[in-house]
Chains A and B, each alone.
Chain A
Amino acid sequence: GQQVMQIPQYQHVQEGEDFTTYCNSSTTLSNIQWYKQRPGGHPVFLIQLVKSGEVKKQKRLTFQFGEAKKNSSLHITATQTTDVGTYFCAGKRQAGTALIFGKGTTLSVSS
């Protein structure tokens, strides 16, 4: 079945450093979504990427979708302590179906 791999599993940075998490699918994705989960919370939607090669920005966060629609990345510039949590990528086999989640990257930030 479809698998979504995500690396690294954990990342610790100093406040102000950049952070990147990478996501790779074994099959072409209809779209990819990114979620953030704070400790004790549920996943919260960040963004969706649909088009091949798409790049979207949200303040310090930059999301990319690969040309082959099989990989994606999330880059955070100048991390802050509020960025801590687990970031999940999740892909869809096709629109209207359930998301398949990567294992997530847990980010910790020290000030």
Chain B
Amino acid sequence: SAVISQKPSRDICQRGTSLTIQCQVDSQVTMMFWYRQQPGQSLTLIATANQGSEATYESGFVIDKFPISRPNLTFSTLTVSNMSPEDSSIYLCSVILGLAGNEQFFGPGTRLTVL
């Protein structure tokens, strides 16, 4: 299994500002993903964080709004840029272990509220 930590655990931000969320894994992982879970909703995949290259974004999500970094195999950041109240959500980091891995592990999430 993998132990995933996220910082911050929660934050309240003003509209128009940006927040960077960090995800740290206790072991090297092949795949890292970022999900969003809006209140009372399911998890929506934002992007796949690729080590050493640009992230792969899902439909409806763009790099300018959600820039992602992944400098190594254990760490990634997601920035929520120019925030609006609609960005209020829980942001979750998720990983897969191994090249043929299937089970995904989730971090505890970052609860973001935008005023």
Contact = CB atoms under 8 A, between A and B. Distances in A.
Contacts, number: 56
Interface residues of A, number: 22
A56 to B, nearest CB: 14
Contact of A101 (B42, B96, B99, B102): B42
A53 interface: no
A61 interface: no
Nearest to A44: B106
Interface string B84-95: 000000001010
B30 A96 contact: yes
Interface of B: 30-31, 33, 35, 41-45, 48, 58-59, 92, 94, 96, 99-109
Closest 9 interchain pairs by CB?
A101-B43, A103-B42, A42-B106, A98-B33, A101-B42, A104-B42, A98-B45, A43-B106, A42-B109
